């Protein structure tokens, strides 16, 4: 049941804005400079990937083995880290993390990076993604005596790496051994006392790239983080690849890469929504992908109108693409309050104030008396879309035609995207016409599934949330949040 008056959660514009699980960042400075502040700015550029918690762990490669300085907490980067905190974090190698939880409770204990002290030294790990076999692996470890400090699958990964390290001569070989047991999505950045390691699952669900600045090498979820710190892009970590960065340079292990690259499965929602538009993911510009989505919508779902507008922020590029293809004027209809953060006080259920109206206002003079095409990146539950359509009508729009730069969500995601169960998805069991009536639009169209591959530059993608074709067998039950007590 769609409740039109319910208050919406405080991410993006409303509760149905999807959330990515994490962003990761790592750096090794061969000249010995402290890297904590650089990690901070890298995480700041990745803040859109997670707003619940963040953390930094650093070590000195020339200092005593096993000494790691770490600071993490709940909140945004500028809430958790002060100049005084950063000044206390000394070391020339480090990893950082921003998190939004899809599996595991939202608590400080679950903040990353995870730091393990074990017989071979120390291990700092930051993880983006979600394992589908985490409960099985966790139970196996528990029955052999492992004691877990968190409820996240990232700790399962860290344990398997630590256990494998006892049996093999190097940490990168331990990572390779652990990867053979992992099923699901993971981009990892790992810090050992003398090495920085990056690893990406064989399907390449989540992005991970390599950068360089002077005599420092960087690993990051997105290229926008490299640009922020003045680093140059070197290349993407390939799906299934393990890269090891030492003072001797970069070594690569590709034994886990799929023999058939056509079976790789990049998350299409990185292109549609998650990644920042100024990032490049596996050779494809995110901005260009969104422009393409808008062009496809204009080709496939034309309508007579006076103005094309995007719902900020991810709808803007697609709206521009629609306008470019259709010849209809592109304009700004929404003003977003940039100062409403993760912790703003949400209106009470009984209050007239809506979280959407607090975060988003309509420019009345831009839409009054006009036929408006409104472009958004998705419709999940439908509540936010209905409210925004209503706001446009209240501002005087004669017609509101909604175009969505993604197909309808029909299935949940098990690989790190916070897509609800099927019974909470407005498109599940409903026709497009029924959805149109619920959100109150004059017309409604979604991007066709046949357009998705072109958005990703022809590279293999995962679109299971749209078509139900999971590249890995999904769990028999919804494991997301399975460890929450």
Catalytic residue ranges: 22
Three-point CA angle 210, 216, 220, nearest 5°: 30
Q: Are strands 371-376 and 307-310 parallel, antiparallel or unpaired?
A: parallel
Spatial CA neighbour of 89 closest among 108, 111, 67, 74: 67
Question: b/e per residue, 430-444, with b = 16+ CB within 10 A?
Answer: eeeeebbebbbbbbb
93: closest CA among 122, 72, 116? 122
User: CA torsion 287→225→458→453, rounded to 10°?
Assistant: -60
CB 231 within 8 A of CB 203: no
Q: Is 114 helix (H, G, I), strand (E, B) or coil?
A: strand
CB 190 within 8 A of CB 197: yes
Interatomic CA distance for residues 410 and 427, integer angstroms = 6
DSSP string, 252-277: EE-TTS-SSGGG--EEHHIIIIIS-T
């Amino acid at each position: 049941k769609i409740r039109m008056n319910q208050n919406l959660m405080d991410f993006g514009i409303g509760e149905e804005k999807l959330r990515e699980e994490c962003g990761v960042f790592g750096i090794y400075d061969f000249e010995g400079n402290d890297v904590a502040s650089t990690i901070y700015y890298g995480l700041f550029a990745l803040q859109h990937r997670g707003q619940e918690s963040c953390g930094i762990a650093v070590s000195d490669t020339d200092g005593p083995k096993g000494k790691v300085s770490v600071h993490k907490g709940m909140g945004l980067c500028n809430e958790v880290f002060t100049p005084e905190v950063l000044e206390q974090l000394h070391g020339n190698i480090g990893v950082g993390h921003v998190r939004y939880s899809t599996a595991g409770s939202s608590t400080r204990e679950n903040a990353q990076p995870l730091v393990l002290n074990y017989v071979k030294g120390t291990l700092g790990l930051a993880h983006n993604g979600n394992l589908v076999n985490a409960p099985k692996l966790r139970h196996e470890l528990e029955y052999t005596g492992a004691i877990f400090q968190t409820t996240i699958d990232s700790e399962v990964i860290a344990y398997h790496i630590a256990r494998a390290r006892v049996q093999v001569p190097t940490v990168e070989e331990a990572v390779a051994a652990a990867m053979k047991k992992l099923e699901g999505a993971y981009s990892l950045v790992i810090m050992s006392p003398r090495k920085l390691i990056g690893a990406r699952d064989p399907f390449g669900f989540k992005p991970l790239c390599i950068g360089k600045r002077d005599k420092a090498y960087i690993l990051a979820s997105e290229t926008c983080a490299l640009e922020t710190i003045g680093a140059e892009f070197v290349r993407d970590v390939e799906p299934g690849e393990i890269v090891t960065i030492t003072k001797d340079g970069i070594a690569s292990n590709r034994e886990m890469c799929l023999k058939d690259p056509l079976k790789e499965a990049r998350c299409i929602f990185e292109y549609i929504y998650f990644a920042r538009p100024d990032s490049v993911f596996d050779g494809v510009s995110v901005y260009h992908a969104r422009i393409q989505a808008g062009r496809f919508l204009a080709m496939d779902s034309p309508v007579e109108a006076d103005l094309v507008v995007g719902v900020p922020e991810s709808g803007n590029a697609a709206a521009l693409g629609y306008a470019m293809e259709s010849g209809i004027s592109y304009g700004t209809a929404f003003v977003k309050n940039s100062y409403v953060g993760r912790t703003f006080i949400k209106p009470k259920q009984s209050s007239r104030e809506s979280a959407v109206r607090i975060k988003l206002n309509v420019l009345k003079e831009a839409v009054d008396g006009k036929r408006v095409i409104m472009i958004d990146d998705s419709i999940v539950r439908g509540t936010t879309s209905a409210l925004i359509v209503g706001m446009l009508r209240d501002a005087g729009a004669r017609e509101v035609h909604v175009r969505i730069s993604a197909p309808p969500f029909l299935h949940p995601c098990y690989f790190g995207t916070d897509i609800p169960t099927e019974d909470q998805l407005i498109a599940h069991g409903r026709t497009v016409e029924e959805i149109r009536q619920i959100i109150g639009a004059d017309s409604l169209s979604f991007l066709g599934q046949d357009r998705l591959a072109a958005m990703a530059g022809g590279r293999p993608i995962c679109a299971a949330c749209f078509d139900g074709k999971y590249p890995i067998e999904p769990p028999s039950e919804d494991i997301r949040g399975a460890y929450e007590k």
